[in-house]
Chain A
Amino acid sequence: MFARLLFESFRRQVRRKAFAVLAITLGMSITTAMISVATDIGDKLNQELRTGSANLLVTPLADSLDVNIGGVDLKPAGERASIHESDLTKIKSIFFRHSILGYAPFLSDSKTFKIGDRAITADLIGTYFSQPVQLGSEIFVTGVRKVNGFWKIEGNWPADDIADALAGASLARKAGIHIGDRLQIGGKELNIAGILSTGSTEDNAIVAPLHFVQQVLDRPDAVHRVVVSALTKPEDAFARQNPATMSPATYERWSCSPYANSIADSISKVLPNVRVEQIRQVEQNQGNVLSRISGLMLLLTIASLLAAALAVSAVMAATIIERRQEVGLMKSLGAGNVAVVALFLTEAGILALGGGILGFAGGVVLAHRIGASVFGSSITVPPVVLAIVLFGALLITFAGSTGAIRKAMSFDPAVVLRGDA
Chain B
Amino acid sequence: MNRAQLLFLLLLKAAWVRKDRSLTALLSITVVATMSTVALSVYSDVGSKLNREFRNFGANVIVTARQGTLDDGQFAAIKTMLGNRGEVVPVSYAIAEGPSGAPVVIAGADLQLLRGLNSWWSITPPAAQANNPQSGNLPSQAFLGARAAEILSPKGQDFQIRFGKKSLQVHPGAVFHSGSEDDSRIYLSREQFTELTSMAPNIAQLRIEGSPAEIEEQIQKLSAALPQADIKPVLLITAAQAAILGRTRSIVLAASAVVVVLIVLCMVATLTGSVLERRKDFAVMKALGASNSSVNMLFAGEAALISTIGALFGFVAGSAVAWWIGSANFGAGIRPRPGLLLPIVFGSIILALVAATAPLKVLRQIQPAGILRGE
Q: A150-B239, A289-B244, A374-B247 are in contact. Are A299 and B329 (CB under 8 A)?
A: yes
* Interface size range of chain B in the complex: 35 or more
Residue B27 interfacial (CB < 8 Å): yes
Q: A15-B276, A48-B247, A373-B254 are in contact. Are A303 and B38 (CB under 8 A)?
A: yes
- CB atoms of A280 and B121 under 8 A apart: yes
- CB atoms of B235 and A198 under 8 A apart: yes
Q: Out of B21, B62, B102, B259, which one reaches A199, CB within 8 Å? A: B62
Chain B residue nearest to A44 (CB atoms) is B247
Residue B273 interfacial (CB < 8 Å): yes
Residue B328 interfacial (CB < 8 Å): yes
- CB atoms of B251 and A289 under 8 A apart: no
- CB atoms of A200 and B236 under 8 A apart: yes
- CB atoms of B244 and A49 under 8 A apart: yes
Residues facing B in A4-44 (CB within 8 A) are 15-16, 19, 22-23, 26-27, 29-30, 33-34, 37, 41, 44
- CB atoms of B95 and A52 under 8 A apart: no
The majority secondary structure among interface residues of chain A is helix
Q: A74-B103, A199-B236, A311-B28 are in contact. Are A374 and B262 (CB under 8 A)?
A: no
- CB atoms of B179 and A57 under 8 A apart: yes
Chain B residue nearest to A51 (CB atoms) is B243
Residue A197 interfacial (CB < 8 Å): yes
- CB atoms of A30 and B259 under 8 A apart: yes
Q: A300-B256, A370-B258 are in contact. Are A315 and B20 (CB under 8 A)?
A: no
Residue B42 interfacial (CB < 8 Å): yes
Residue A172 interfacial (CB < 8 Å): no
Tell me which residues across on chain A come within 8 A of B236, comparing CB atoms: 53, 150, 198-200, 281-282
With A285-B54, A296-B329 already in contact, 9 other A-B pairs whose C-beta atoms are closer than 8 Å: A19-B269, A45-B244, A65-B184, A69-B93, A69-B105, A74-B95, A292-B330, A300-B325, A318-B20
Q: Which B residues are closer than 8 A to A by beta carbons?
A: 20-21, 24, 27-28, 31-32, 34-35, 38-39, 42, 46, 49-50, 53-54, 56-58, 62, 64, 93-95, 98, 102-105, 118, 120-122, 147-148, 151, 177-181, 183-185, 202-203, 230, 232-240, 243-244, 247-248, 250-252, 254-256, 258-259, 262-263, 265-267, 269-270, 272-274, 276-277, 321, 324-325, 328-330
- CB atoms of A318 and B239 under 8 A apart: no
**Interface code A192-227, partner B: CB below 8 Å = 1, 0 otherwise?**
000001111101000000000000000000000000
A15 to B251, CA, bound (A): 35
A199 to B58, CA, bound (A): 14
A373 to B248, CA, bound (A): 12
Chain A residue nearest to B322 (CB atoms) is A303
- CB atoms of A304 and B35 under 8 A apart: yes
Tell me which residues across on chain B come within 8 A of A286, comparing CB atoms: 240, 244
* Top 10 A-B residue pairs of the complex, sorted by shortest distance between their CB atoms: A150-B239, A19-B273, A66-B184, A65-B184, A199-B235, A284-B120, A279-B179, A318-B24, A277-B179, A295-B329
Chain A residue nearest to B330 (CB atoms) is A292
Measured CB to CB, the closest approach of chain B to A13, in angstroms, equals 11
A303 to B50, CA, bound (A): 20
A286 to B244, CA, bound (A): 9
Measured CB to CB, the closest approach of chain A to B120, in angstroms, equals 4
Q: A277-B177, A299-B325, A307-B259 are in contact. Are A318 and B21 (CB under 8 A)?
A: yes
Residue A319 interfacial (CB < 8 Å): yes
A308 to B259, CA, bound (A): 9
Tell me which residues across on chain B come within 8 A of A139, comparing CB atoms: none
A51 to B322, CA, bound (A): 32
- CB atoms of B54 and A299 under 8 A apart: no
A289 to B274, CA, bound (A): 45
A312 to B325, CA, bound (A): 23
